[in-house]
Structure 1
């Protein structure tokens, strides 16, 4: 069974690529992952079967070698992107705070957006090791 390392994988797109032991790229569709995995971390060592796809070699029956990876860590934004998100969140909270000082809650639409952003940012910060 061939082995290789994940070159990249995007769970939102549903595919990625593995670099096999010979250095060639192998397409990695989400359907090739075990049911227990939804994403893979760059550099994760994997074993897989290879079939000929329409555009070249395609991985099937992927198994991850080594310790289980943290899905939360794999999906974390890079720190530079997170810094920009936090700065935008501060602006949103400041605007909401100014309205509250005038005894007005944000509109229901704005409240829902703010709550959604707060939960998403909290999830990105809350990583269990």
Structure 2
């Protein structure tokens, strides 16, 4: 069964397109979606049957493939722990800001710690739903 990702879908127009795993566009009519499905998220992984339409391939019998749970999302800190991390980060940034106001960059070791912490916090906030 072919699979791909929804490139775009407009519920008002009642159609969209799937980008198949082999790179081809497949027309996605509203009628090919599971019953009671009105809106389709861009990038949703789908499997479908294909028929030849007058203007090219058309998807039929579309099913949504559930993605595996995100390992990053499962291992990210709890909100209470993250709030403590963010508060510590604010203190470090405030200290770095004070040094910059005195026309000096923080020491190399402090800069490295700050950069590492910033990246880690950014990664925890940037988890895709």
Normalised by the length of structure 2, the TM-score is 0.51
Structure 1 residue runs of 4+, over 6 Å off?
none
1:26 aligns with 2:12: no
Shift of 1:16: 0.0
Aligned to 1:50: 50
Aligned length: 68
Aligned to 1:9: 9
Gaps of 5+ in 2: 68-128
Gaps of 5+ in 1: 68-128
Shift of 1:58: 0.3
Deviates more, 1:12-21 or 1:32-41: 32-41
Q: Secondary structure at the match of 2:13?
A: coil
Aligned to 1:60: 60
Q: Give me the CA root mean square deviation.
A: 1.4
* Equivalent-residue separation in structure 2 for 1:39 and 1:59 (angstroms): 16
Shift of 1:36: 2.7
Q: Secondary structure at the match of 1:37?
A: coil
Shift of 1:30: 0.2
Give deviations 1:68-100, integer Å, cap 9, x for gaps: xxxxxxxxxxxxxxxxxxxxxxxxxxxxxxxxx
State which structure, 1 or 2, has the greater radius of gyration over its C-alpha atoms: 2
* Equivalent-residue separation in structure 2 for 1:29 and 1:43 (angstroms): 16
Q: What is the 5 A alignment of 1:1-129?
A: 1-66=1-66
Give deviations 1:3-61, integer Å, cap 9, x for gaps: 00000000000000000011000000000001031111000000000000010000000
